[in-house]
Amino acid sequence: DQQVKQNSPSLSVQEGRISILNCDYTNSMFDYFLWYKKYPAEGPTFLISISSIKDKNEDGRFTVFLNKSAKHLSLHIVPSQPGDSAVYFCASNTGNQFYFGTGTSLTVIP
Amino acid sequence: NAGVMQNPRHLVRRRGQEARLRCSPMKGHSHVYWYRQLPEEGLKFMVYLQKENIIDESGMPKERFSAEFPKEGPSILRIQQVVRGDSAAYFCASSLDGHNSPLHFGNGTRLTVT
C-alpha cells in the first residue's frame, strides 16, 4: 500500500531551466511534507519541508508547493544545476511514521 | 561532525549468521528511525524508537529482527539468522521531536548476505 507516490521514475532537464518533481499522496491525515535528495552510496539529505497549513515554502532555488485538495506536492528547482543530479524522494508524516515515495532520478544536462 | 553516524558502512554475513547495525543519532536527538531500501525500491519504514522505548515497530518483520535504543549508547538493529533476502541498505535517521521536524539520515549500512 503505497501512500506516497512518485509516478515519474526519471526526469532530464537542461542546465539553467526549471526542474519540477511531482508527488501524490493518498492519506488526508498527512500534515507534514518533505523532500529529500539522495546521491549513490549516501543517505538521503533533507532539502525542504512544508506543513499542511501552508501551500508554498521557498528556500533559495528550491520551492515546494502543496495542493491539499488534489493531494499533490511538487518541488521546483530553478535554475537547475548539474550538481542537482540525484534521486529525489518526497515524504509525508502522520503519527509515528514517515512515508516515502519511490523516488525520481533527476539528471541535469550541462 | 554532529551528523547521524552509522557503522559499519558495509557488512557481509553468511546465511544463518547474525548482523548488528549501529546508529548514533545527531546530538540532541532522541528519536530514531530505521528504514530499509531494497534494490530499485524506496525507503520502507521498519521501526521508530525513543530512548529505551520502541514506539512503533509495525514495519519490522515479526521474526529474526529486533531493535533497541538504550539509555546509553547507539541504537542497534539486530538481524538473526540472516537470509539472502535480508541483503539491502539499512538507513538510520534521527529527529528532534518525532513529528513536524525533519528526519536526518546517516549514510547507511549495506548488508550483503552470501
DSSP string for chain B:
--S-EEE-SEEEE-TT--EEEEEEPPTT--EEEEEEE-TT--EEEEEEEETTEEEE-TTS-SSSEEEE--SSS-EEEEE-S--GGG-EEEEEEEESSSSSS--EE---EEEEE-
Average pLDDT over residues B87-107: 91
Q: What is the pLDDT of residue A96?
A: 79
- For residue A14, the cross-strand partners are A109
CB contact under 8 A, B107 and A32: no
> Would you list which residues of chain A are within 8 Å, Cβ to Cβ, of chain B?
31-32, 34, 36, 41-46, 49, 51, 89, 91, 93, 95-103
Q: What letters, b where the CB count within 10 A reaches 16 and e where it falls short, cover B59-73?
A: bbeeeebebbbeeee
Residues of chain B with pLDDT > 70: what percent?
Answer: 98
The residue count of chain A comes to 110
- For residue A46, the cross-strand partners are A36
d(CA B15, CA A102) in angstroms, rounded, equals 28
Residue B97 pLDDT class (50, 70, 90 cuts): confident
Question: Cα(first)–Cα(last) distance of chain B, in Å?
Answer: 33
Q: What is the pLDDT of residue A83?
A: 96
Q: What is the pLDDT of residues A67-84, one digit of tens each?
A: 999 999 999 999 999 999
d(CA B36, CA B47) in angstroms, rounded, equals 10
Q: What is the pLDDT of residue A95?
A: 78
B48: burial class by Cβ within 10 Å (0-12, 13-18, 19+)?
buried
Average pLDDT over residues B1-26: 94
Whether the per-residue pLDDT at B1 is higher than 60: the answer is no
Residues of B in contact with A43 (CB under 8 A): 4, 6, 91, 93, 105-108
Q: What is the pLDDT of residue A1?
A: 66
Whether the per-residue pLDDT at B98 is higher than 90: the answer is no
Average pLDDT over residues B10-30: 96
CA distances (Å), origin A38, targets A46, A86, B35? 9, 6, 14
CB contact under 8 A, B33 and A98: yes
Average pLDDT over residues B2-24: 96
Average pLDDT over residues B43-70: 94
Q: What is the pLDDT of residue A45?
A: 96
Residue B41 pLDDT class (50, 70, 90 cuts): confident
CB contact under 8 A, B107 and A43: yes
Residue A49 pLDDT class (50, 70, 90 cuts): very high
Strands B53-56 and A19-25: unpaired
CB contact under 8 A, B35 and A100: yes
Whether the per-residue pLDDT at B2 is higher than 80: the answer is no
With cell 561532525, the residue in question is B1
Q: What is the pLDDT of residue B60?
A: 94
